Amino acid sequence: MQNLNTQQNTSSQLEKNIMFVTTIYDTFEALEETLGKLKLEKPLFLTYIAKKAFAEEVFKYAKQSNRIYLSPDKKNNEQHILQ
């Protein structure tokens, strides 16, 4: 029972983290769109660089994690989010 609660808490925390990361990324997208419409090229470029750096950090963390996979499992070609 303890193990099931731990897995549920981990899954719940993972869902919260995914929602948080998605919100941040969507904010970058909205900012880029607004800056593009205002034709503010330097801030638009800086936003693009910041969004790219943020995405690289998220993917770097996900690749280092033992629980999160970003690509199909090489053993059985199934897509996994949690191990």
For 55-67, give the DSSP string. Answer: HHHHHHHHHH-SS
Q: Encode pLDDT of 35-76 as tens digits.
A: 999 999 999 999 999 999 999 998 888 777 765 555 544 554
Q: Tell me, what DSSP letter sits at residue 81?
A: S
Q: Indicate the residue type of 50.
A: A
pLDDT score, position 60: 85
Closest to 4 measured CA to CA, from 12, 38, 24:
12
Which one has a higher pLDDT value, 69 or 24?
24
pLDDT score, position 17: 84
Band the pLDDT of 2: cuts 50, 70, 90: low
